[in-house]
Amino acid sequence: MSPFVVRRIVQTPAERVWAVLSDFSSHGRWVPLTRIRSDPGQPRVGWSFTAITGVGPGVLRDRMTVELWEPPNRARPQRAARFRITKHGPVLRGWVNVQVTPVSGTLGARTTEVIWTESLRLRLPFLGALLAPVLAPISKSAYEVVIDRMLAAAAKAPQ
């Protein structure tokens, strides 16, 4: 499946946006029927987590690992904060790149650009090729809802 991009500009400081988007242990709050199991400690390169979606025996385990971790940097406030996640579960493969940029170039700025780029593919080649034309628009729409929920929470978070 071709990568999809969700781009948003929000009136929320970049540090607050980053705090919500990069809190992987809390992603279950935003994704329906999902709970998260994660490595101990804070996210960093090599840190892994699993999103378990569904109920009963029909669950999807989406195993992910942080490959790039560049949080906001007060010494270089104009630099985008970024993370990259690779997906290597039994059903889904792919990656997620997220970039959080203060629009005015300062971390205290109230306007932030978020670019969420994601590529998903099913590990079963024939089924993946068959479902890709349907999976791509459904995945993008679902992630738009999830990202918008996360950004709304960031906007309401205490400063």
Name residues whose C-beta falls within 8 Å of residue 19's C-beta, 6 or more positions apart in sequence.
154, 157
**pLDDT given for residue 48 in this prediction:** 98
Token couple for 22: 């990069």
For residue 153, give Cα distances in angstroms to 17, 18, 27, 29, 42: 9, 11, 12, 10, 20
Q: Is-contact 102 78, C-beta < 8 A?
A: yes
Read off the pTM. Answer: 0.90
Q: Tell which residue, 12, 13, 10, 60, has the closest CA to residue 34.
A: 60
Find out whether 131 and 122 touch, Cβ atoms under 8 Å: yes
- 48 contact partners, CB below 8 Å, separation of at least 6: 38, 39, 63, 64, 65, 66
Q: Which fold has domain 4-32+69-156?
A: Alpha-D-Glucose-1,6-Bisphosphate; Chain A, domain 4 (3.30.530)
**pLDDT for position 1:** 64
| Cβ contact 17:147 at 8 Å | no
Segment-wise mean pLDDT, segments of 10 residues, the chain, 159 residues: 90 94 94 93 97 88 97 86 96 95 74 95 77 83 96 89
